[in-house]
Amino acid sequence: MDFPRILSGNWEVPDSHTLAVARACGTYTRVEMALKKPPAELIQIVKDSGLRGRGGAGFPTGMKWSFVPGPEKRGNKPVYLLCNADESEPGTFKDRYCMWKDPHLMIEGMIIAAHAIGCKVGYIYIRGEFRYIYDRLWEAVHEARAAGLLGRNILGTGVDFELHVHLGAGAYICGEETALISSLEGEKGQPKLKPPFPAVEGAWRCPTIVNNVETLAAVPWIIENGAAAYKAIGTEKSPGTKLFSCSGHIRRPGVYEIPLGYPMKDLLEIECGGLLPGRTLKAVIPGGSSVPVMTPAEVYACNMDYESIQTVAGSYLGSGGFIVMDDTTDLVDALTNLLRFYAHESCGQCTPCREGCGWMYHILCRVRDNCATAADLVTLKDLADNIHSKTICFFGASAAMPVQSFLLKFKGEFLARIEAASMGIPAGAIIANPEQRVGHPVAPSVAGA
């Protein structure tokens, strides 16, 4: 379908990552326009546009910017702008395309954002595994600096902005903004307590704004076309377009830019090309591995925006990692695989998450390996409840929500696996025809548990 391509418009242009091509496509034309505007006006435009953070939480970007204390309050402390390029949520791979295909768009967004919040030095914190993009980003930064778009007195406007690229060491948790700050500071990448919030006291205890790659890349278009134009796209509460990383059992996996509010069914059947031949839909994780899973019925009733997914399915748009699972998927295996990730990536700071993620993973391994009882599922659910929202950062909830939702929506499959194991049916036989086992009769005490 033909949608406005705010973020991905230049991706198909050959050599789109070079400054020459980017400029030919119109990138950096908004810098001069923006730097001549007073910062407060820029913040107001972004506020009015309704742009929401694309990292997962969906917090209004303009409002976040406005939390930075003014010069009279912060004294001579500098303000930092950090671009969160630590994209490591399983199922999410949009930022890497943004940075690989069009790094200058994001840099342009950063220059504008920096001017809006009064920042002179910014950092792109990029995931350790994105080494190849790291090199490309530095090339882009050097090109931009040589062209007078970064550094002192940008384009003669008197605005200074220096940009650095910092390579992380490969930790999922460093995508959490306070952990990102810890890691950037040279500490172990662990989230910090809030308050104080980074906008007030972040990197090196100075006011700091952390924005996702996609969020920053959307800023130039908003400045050029105005808040109203952006707001005209998408829904009332979720305006604009968003990149979705589509993966799983679909014909055309990839990153798609669509307006928010687009039917999930259409995304699945039109953009993604539908399921593989002869398969039926079993489950969808709509926003990256951390969000609750959705059933086919929910998928067909839902639109791709923050509110619809939450009201219809109790799930979240998250970072837009759209993971499709068809009837060949063993959900026990799928959840075990997810928990292996969380058990490995927990930063180890808060007790419930540190001990609980590993514990949940081990229980799931036993379910997968046919050594579990129905009581283990009760424990599993209880552990997830005990972790959710009891920790410093959102990681605990991120690990708990898949478990809670899989057990809520696909409990039959877990019980069937346990039941079959108790009857001595080998694990391989379970996958063959899962439909039969959903709602398989089980002992009453177990069903009620």
Partner 1 sequence: MPKVKINDIEVDVPAGTNMIEAAATAGVEIPHYCYHPNLSIAGNCRMCLVDIVGGRAPEIACNMVAREGLAIRTDTPNVKKMRQSVMEFLLVNHPLDCPICDQSGECRLQDYYMDHGDYDSRGVEEKVSKQKRQDIGDKIVLDAERCVQCSRCVRFGDEVTGTGDLRLMNRSDHTEIGMFPGERLTHHYQGNLADICPVGALTNKDFRFQRRVWYLRETASVCNGCATGCNVQVCHQEGEVFRYLPRRNDAVNKSWMCDHGRDLVPGIAGLERVLRSRVDGCSVDTEAALGALTTRLKSAKSVGVVLGSQATNEANWALLQLVRKNLPGARLYAATGNDPGSVEYADTLLVDADKNPNNAGLALLASLDGRVGSTAELGSALGSLDLLVVLEDDVIGRLKGHGRPAALAYFGVSKNATSAAADVLIPVCHTVEMDGSYVNRQGRVQRIRRAVNAAGDAVPAWLVLERLGGKLGHAPGTGMVAAAFNAMAKAVPAMKGMDFKALGDAGLQLATDVPEVAAPDVPASPGATA
Residues that bind partner 1 (CB under 8 A): 171, 173, 188, 193, 343-352, 354-359, 362-363, 379, 382, 386, 389-392
What is the sign of the dihedral through the CA atoms of 96, 100, 105 and 109? positive
Residue 348 beta carbon to partner 1: minimum distance, rounded to whole angstroms: 3
- Contact predicate 56/178, CB 8 Å: no
> Using CA atoms, how far apart are residues 93 and 427, in angstroms rounded to an integer?
32
- Contact predicate 166/131, CB 8 Å: no
Beta-strand runs (E) in 307-363: 321-326
Nearer to partner 1, 16 or 346 (CB): 346
Other Cβ atoms less than 10 A from the Cβ of 72: the count is 6
Residues in the chain: 449
Residue 45 beta carbon to partner 1: minimum distance, rounded to whole angstroms: 31
Residue 30 beta carbon to partner 1: minimum distance, rounded to whole angstroms: 39
Residue 314 beta carbon to partner 1: minimum distance, rounded to whole angstroms: 17
Other Cβ atoms less than 10 A from the Cβ of 446: the count is 16
Nearer to partner 1, 86 or 305 (CB): 86
Nearer to partner 1, 293 or 392 (CB): 392
> Using CA atoms, how far apart are residues 106 and 441, in angstroms rounded to an integer?
54
Residue 83 beta carbon to partner 1: minimum distance, rounded to whole angstroms: 24
Three-state SS for 23? Answer: helix
Nearer to partner 1, 311 or 351 (CB): 351
Q: What is the CA radius of gyration of the chain?
A: 23
Nearer to partner 1, 173 or 216 (CB): 173
Nearer to partner 1, 7 or 347 (CB): 347
Backbone angles phi, psi at 294, to 5 degrees: -120, 150
